[in-house]
Chain A
Amino acid sequence: MNIHTYEKFWLAASMVLIVGFILTITYGTVGIGVAMVDDSGETINPENINDHPKFSSPGVEQVGENEYDVYIQVVQFAFLPTEVEVPAHSTVNIHLTSRDVIHSYSVVGTNANTMVIPGEVAEVTVNVDEPKEYGVICTEYCGSGHHNMEGKLNVVPEEEFEGDSQ
């Protein structure tokens, strides 16, 4: 097959681009430690969420020196709890599940973004730095009130943090 020399250059350049993209993503994973939402969360029955030891009282709980677990129930059309407060400079593990349809939990202006699927528990960990108030929205269409679905993730100075919340 006749492949023109210039097209051979371009084929090589295309492979450089493709491999370069893959390597960059890999660097993000193994170098920086970016992790994808995956199947390590448990499975759960959406109808029995209120029997679950943690999701039945959603909120923030300290689990380590600088580490906090947050449990959020996601429903049509709210996040429960709607406002979540965590202290600055800590590690936050967010656990999410849906009582009804597919939603998302998306912290506006950040990379914290995950789907929330009924039957699955989505678990994501972020390191929060300086105090800041973030808006949280649902970005996966979930029904007629989808556009009203919002919450907050407030990172407060350590002194102001009130401890476990319900």
Chain B
Amino acid sequence: MSLGANSGTYLDQFPDEAKLIRATFYSSFAALFVGALMGLLQVLHRVDILRLIPSEDYYSYLTLHAVLLVLTFTIFFLVGVFTWGVTTSLDRGLEDLRYTWAWYGLMAGGSLLAGITIIGGFFDAIPLSAAVLYTFYAPLQAHPLFYVGLALFIVGSWFAGIDWFRSWWAWKRENPDERIPLPTFMALTTTLFWIISSLGVAISVVVFMIPWSLGLIDQVNALLTRTLFWFFGHAVVYFWLMPAYMLWYVMLPKISGGKLFSDPLARVVFVLFLILSTPTGIHHQYLDPGIAEGFKFIVMVNTMFLLLPSLLTAFTVVASMEHGARQRGGTGYFGWLRALPWRNPVFTGMALAGLMFAAAGFSGMINAGMNINYLVHNTWWVVGHFHLTVGTAVALTFMATTYWFLPQLTGKKIWNKSLGLAQVLLWFIGMTFMSNAMHRAGLAGIPRRTAEPQYSGFDFQPAAGSVAELNMQVVIGGTLLFISTLLFMLIVVMTVRGSKVDTLPANGYAETLSGPEDAPLVLDNLRLWAGIAIALVVLAYALPLASIIGRHGLFGPGGSPSPQFIDTVVFTGQAIFDSLVGVIR
């Protein structure tokens, strides 16, 4: 289907899929806006500039902020990006659009359910709450619909992954001798480790949390459910990161004016993430009693090796940019940097996101260090770290590439490119202030996840500067980030409201200097890598889980639920259960 002179955008090629991706992106942006608003309110509350609600309710801000940003915003965006990648690289629409819209519906419905239960926590009149934070550690307890919402959302994302597999299988039948195109390869490997890793939290939620919050079981084993969460909780960061990496590998080189330095190495990186991302979860539990030091040490070794694919990515991505810069006329050891297209917000946003990710490597290596973790665990250092990673490497890449995707999906030009450039720069500057202050605050022992880091019995003593100065930097940074978010929303809305044009570039992605033909065939053997991934997960988790279950059994004792959710549902649930049991007896 062609639209006159402009017959090459994604919208031209795949109008139905474009509609789906628009839906996923708009859902993602709605979550981004509310989540970012929560972030601003949190910052103002913590430093005691503006406390709109009592501190007891702050934890609903925090739960909403995290769930909307790291689950809804990121995952809706990435399922859109991978759908683009798969359909574009296979040059083939999705197999069954009703199936596709069904998974979108599951994700949207799940998000709404979870979101509503969290928001209920702000209002005493509403008998719903989920002030349990993104990690929902038992025996803290949320309303059952919170867990149901999360489960639906995750299952929806599994179905999205299976959608891409369906496309690949159909394409493979018609192209039996061809290598898997790189974007599709990336979507498939990501789907595999996503399903493997989210099994942990799925079991925790479906087998334990939902029945427990309904009153069907008395207790859950707190350490067990916490460990099942982190089985998922580390790998999920790669679920967010892989689409960003894909964009750095297949879009950034082209925007830089060059080609991807190495397709084979990109495949190696994604295979490494598939096999290594899950057997590292216990590094979030270095300070947990009930888990032997030997297991923690093994996990540390796995985690340190997991640095490798990211370090390799740094080389390949920078080399690809350098290729573009030199093709544009850049020279010298460093002068070539100036030849890059810095006026293009798509480029600048991704480049700054990558730069910030390199800084995140520093705080990440500290987090990964088994014993040095004592210094930073549960302090604001950790929060500074993940605002660099998911908060910038991922979020800023997503926003920057939106300036390329939105025209492709709507047929309209970006409303104001200069504002887009300002938006990405503001994000980078704001995050520099905020994250830097968070790291320094963490080293002074200032905690994360608290409404009021002001205590009566002692003072925090930063090694350099003062608490007041750190607070000021966080407020400045947080405010700039919120302004950047507003700008982003404005540009998106004004672009969508604009009129269609004929002058957009064709859909496509970067070519390679070293292509798939140079990649050993074994890299495309997804079954092999999935098998190894599962084996490594079993090796890493069988003994620790057996030990944890051995200490207290599957169901506790884990302490009594806190808070107990609404009595009427307990009563109803118990009544239904009792009557069923009565019937069976």
A and B directly contacting (CB within 8 A): yes
Q: Which residue of B lies closest to A35 (CB)?
A: B293
Binds B, one of A50-58, A59-67, A114-122: A114-122
Q: Is the CB of A2 within 8 A of B514?
A: yes
Q: Are B557 and A47 in contact (CB under 8 A)?
A: yes
Partner of B290, one of A14, A111, A120: A120
Interface centre among A34, A141, A146 (most CB of B within 10 A): A141
The residue of chain B having its C-beta at the shortest distance from the C-beta of A27 within the complex is: B371
A14 engages B371 (CB within 8 Å): no
Per-position contact with A for B257-296: 1 when CB-CB < 8 Å, else 0? 0000110110000000000000000000111111111001
Q: Is there an interface contact between B312 and A38, defined as CB atoms closer than 8 Å? A: no
Interface residues of B in 48-85 (CB under 8 A from A): 55-59
Annotate A126-146 by CB proximity to B: 1 below 8 A, 0 otherwise. 000000011101011111111
**B222-A39 in contact (CB<8A):** no
Q: In the assembled complex, which residues on chain B have CB atoms less than 8 Å from the CB atom of A148?
A: 452
Query: CB-defined interface of B433-445 with A at 8 Å, one 1/0 digit per residue?
Result: 0000000000011
* B539 part of interface (Cβ distance < 8 Å): no
* A39 vs B444: C-alpha distance when bound (angstroms): 29
Q: Quick check: B447 and A139 within 8 Å, CB to CB?
A: yes
CB of B289 within 8 A of CB of A39, answer yes
B237 within 8 A of A: no
For B135, the closest partner residue in chain A by CB is A141
Flag whether A157 is at the interface (Cβ < 8 A). Answer: no
CA separation between A4 and B56, bound complex, in Å? 57
User: B456 — which chain A residues lie within 8 A by C-beta?
Assistant: 150
Whether B453 lies near A109 (C-beta < 8 A) is: no
Contacts of A98 in B (CB 8 A): 559
A-B pair count, CB < 8 Å, reads: 222
B7 within 8 A of A: no
In the complex, whether A89 has a CB less than 8 A from a CB of chain B is no
Q: Are A119 and B562 neighbours in the complex by a CB distance under 8 Å?
A: no
Q: Is the CB of A101 within 8 A of B458?
A: no
Residue count of chain B within 8 Å CB distance of chain A: 82
Residue of B whose beta carbon sits closest to that of A15: B308
Partner of A100, one of B59, B262, B458, B562: B562
Interface residues of A in 86-109 (CB under 8 A from B): 98-102, 104, 106, 108-109
Q: Which of A39-54 contact B (CB under 8 A)?
A: 39, 41, 43, 45-47
Can you give 25 A-B contacts (C-beta < 8 A)? A1-B264, A1-B519, A1-B520, A2-B264, A7-B265, A7-B319, A10-B312, A15-B308, A22-B301, A29-B371, A36-B296, A37-B288, A45-B557, A100-B559, A100-B562, A101-B139, A109-B445, A118-B557, A119-B557, A139-B379, A140-B378, A141-B137, A143-B140, A147-B55, A151-B457
Inter-chain pairs besides A14-B308, A141-B137, 17 sampled, C-beta below 8 Å: A4-B262, A10-B315, A34-B371, A36-B293, A46-B559, A101-B222, A102-B137, A110-B445, A113-B378, A117-B222, A117-B223, A118-B139, A119-B559, A135-B455, A140-B378, A141-B450, A150-B458
- Residues on B lying within 8 angstroms of A by beta carbon are 55-59, 131, 133, 137-140, 221-223, 226, 261-262, 264-265, 285-293, 296-297, 300-301, 304-305, 307-308, 311-312, 315-316, 319, 365, 368-372, 374-375, 377-379, 444-445, 447-453, 455-461, 514, 518-520, 547, 551-552, 556-560, 562-563
